[in-house]
Amino acid sequence: MIPRLLGVYINRQFLINVRHILRSFVAAIQTSYDFIAMSNIKSESVSESSVSEPPPTQPSVPISYPIKTLEELESRSYFDSFHYPFNRASVPILNGGSSSLPQRRRLLVCHDMAGGYLDDKWIQGGTNPDAYAIWHWHLIDVFIYFSHSLVTLPPPSWTNTAHRHGVKVLGTFITEWDEGRTVCDTLLSTKETAHMYAERLAELAADLGFDGWLINMEVNLDPGQIPNLIEFVDHLSLTMHSSVPGSLVLWYDSVTVDGKLNWQDQLNEHNKPFFDICDGIFVNYTWKEDYPRLSAAVANERKFDVYMGIDVFGRNTYGGGQWNVDVALDLLRKNDVSAAIFAPGWVYETKQAPDFETAQNSWWGHVEKSWGVLRKFPGPSPFYTNFDQGRGYHISVDGDNVSDTTWCNISCQGFQPQLLLVDPSNSIQVSVDLKEASYSGGGNITFKGSLEEKTYFESKIFQVGFLLSELPVHFIYTVKSDSNSSLGLKLEFTSTGDGRRASILLASREVNHFSDKFSKVIMTRERKGFSSGWVINEGVVAMSGYTLTEIHAVCYRSDSNDNDGTVASPSEYFALLGHITIKTVDYKSDFPLSSSWLVDGTCIKWTSDPLGSKTLDVKISWKLKHENSYLFLKFNVYLVKLSKQAGGNPGTTLEDVKEYLGVAQVSCFYVSDLKVPSDTSTLKFIIQVCGVDGTIQELDESPYYELEVEGP
């Protein structure tokens, strides 16, 4: 009863005021004890003080970080940072030929976690296999990276994986507290300054490869500043649209047209002037039951541009958030407006039982059940996925394990499967198991359980919309399984003419006992011989005039195991699906010759120890000598240490050991603290080019950079 009574008096403004007081108190204490923070400056964790440091210009491990002041924004000092070229997203957004958002209700996700820039700040990857990640991209239309810094720049890892799934990514521009009011006094001092800062923000988005901005002005303003605020928002929208087609500028429901910081919790006459000059409004999350309907009426034909906020932590949010997020989503679906889910990392931060993966899938299952799956991926050509979640316990390349080091790098996420929630009653459990073997990267789909003879089990893994042309299509997938376990793919098609449905099973073994369940069975060609046990399956499908709508995995046992026709008792089943590639038969990966590349090393720094060993820091950069249409989004980086044999020639290698260093999403890679044994004469850095269809260039044919080891 007492909490309910308190709820009457405690609103967001009250909490803001309390937070303001506490912040001032903490700031005073922190000033007195700055020396403590300095002693922990090399900590792996990211604190507010660490991201407040000036833009780093000296070479160091590449990181993402925000812009903290208007001075930094105006001076464009960010572009002088050593880290700038590493922060450019490289993956173009998958949009099916349309840069605009669909005309339907949409789902926006605003990621706010502990100040931001945690494990995701390490551009070349961190070491935490349990790092936070999102993999339910098929439900999301827009992703916002949020923090309380003035200019929050999305780490390229989020932009890369979101774009891979067709999701737009926005940064955040926020003003709050006394500092925010000071910022606004400068920002809005004249029409010219408003335009200049808007252009700086648009330049950052266009150059770093993300899709726009959320504008959150959480301060009281003078009424006389509002005309220049409108100029700022309007000019930012126009500049973004001209520089990045399909970009978005969203207004957060905060300050009103009379300058008051007064959250409306709906679209109305107090905030609509801002809505009218940008691409939508993110409505504050303390709205009441009737507000979505009222907001839709005010927006009229733009009702889908109204994103009603839902705070997953449940702070005065409709329905209570948390595991009841579907209560708010159900109402928004009924009123046919869009939703903005704030802080879905609640599942991770509050350590929901029994573990993050299970809780994450269950929570997003609530979202999917309420909201539905409204997106259908048009399908790039070619299509490739290795089911990598962007974190794990090992890394593989073409079936070979190249690293057993724990890691995280969201940029490495493959196209994520749309697996159903685990059903304990199923005979086979389907999951992404990061500890099982991988064919490529660190992911897979694991099928484990029991399966009787002459039966099969199927599980949907993708809902797509790939229109097939006259050219036959190659389906290539890898399987690693027990000897008595087989895994195939079921492809569901719909005719674009009369809507007829057809299903094709790709199988590597005879399935006579259930072949009548499919329109056609195509036997795949197997390529074996991998020491790791992976088998490559290839099948060709010709379905011109049909659209591929779903892909299912099919678990079965081979007819060759039937002997007397009796039904055997259930037996164990285990199989891994390593990757899927879909491409037309005429598509071939084309890798430029090694001699076509310019590879260089800069920022070279040697450090010696008393025992004769050395440590190296170096930035390696590469580019093609001539402009062309090649699109490479990923590069594996290897190292070979060449030693001088006794009585031999310099530059010979005792063992041709290629050490995997990491992966680059841009055309540069920073090597830090590399230990170089005293008998090493030359270091050879190999840049392995990766195709968009999952193929890779042979290491012996890849570009490389050689560096002679500095003498004593």
Amino acid letter for position 70: L
Identify the residue whose tokens are 């055997």.
Answer: 568
What is residue 98's predicted lDDT score, i.e. its pLDDT?
A: 73
Q: Closest by alpha carbon to 543, among 577, 493, 579, 593?
A: 493
Mean pLDDT of each 10-residue bin along the chain, 712 residues long: 39 51 42 31 33 69 97 97 97 83 97 97 98 97 98 98 96 97 98 98 98 98 98 98 97 98 98 98 98 98 98 97 98 98 98 97 97 82 94 97 97 95 92 97 97 93 90 95 94 94 95 93 90 93 94 86 43 96 90 96 94 92 86 94 65 71 98 94 97 95 96 72
**pLDDT score for 711:** 77
- Beta strands 520-523 and 571-584: pairing type? unpaired
DSSP string, 79-139: GGSTTGGGG---PPP--TT--SPPSS--EEEEE--TTS-SGGGBTT-BS-TT------GGG
pLDDT of residue 647: 43
**Alpha-carbon gap, residue 438 to 577, rounded angstroms:** 8
* Cβ neighbours for 636, distance < 8 A, ≥ 6 positions apart: 397, 660, 662, 663, 687, 688, 690, 696
Q: What is the pLDDT of residue 563?
A: 38
Contact, 561 vs 453, CB < 8 A? yes
Give phi and psi for 150, each to the nearest 5.
Answer: -55, -50
**Residue that has been written with the tokens 């919309």 in this structure:** 465
Cα separation, 633 vs 93, whole angstroms: 12
DSSP β-ladder status, 280-283 and 306-311? parallel
Whole-number Å distance between alpha carbons of 403 and 638: 11
Q: Where are the beta strands (DSSP E) in 177-267?
A: 212-218, 248-252
pLDDT of residue 94: 85
Looking at residue 610, its pLDDT comes to 82
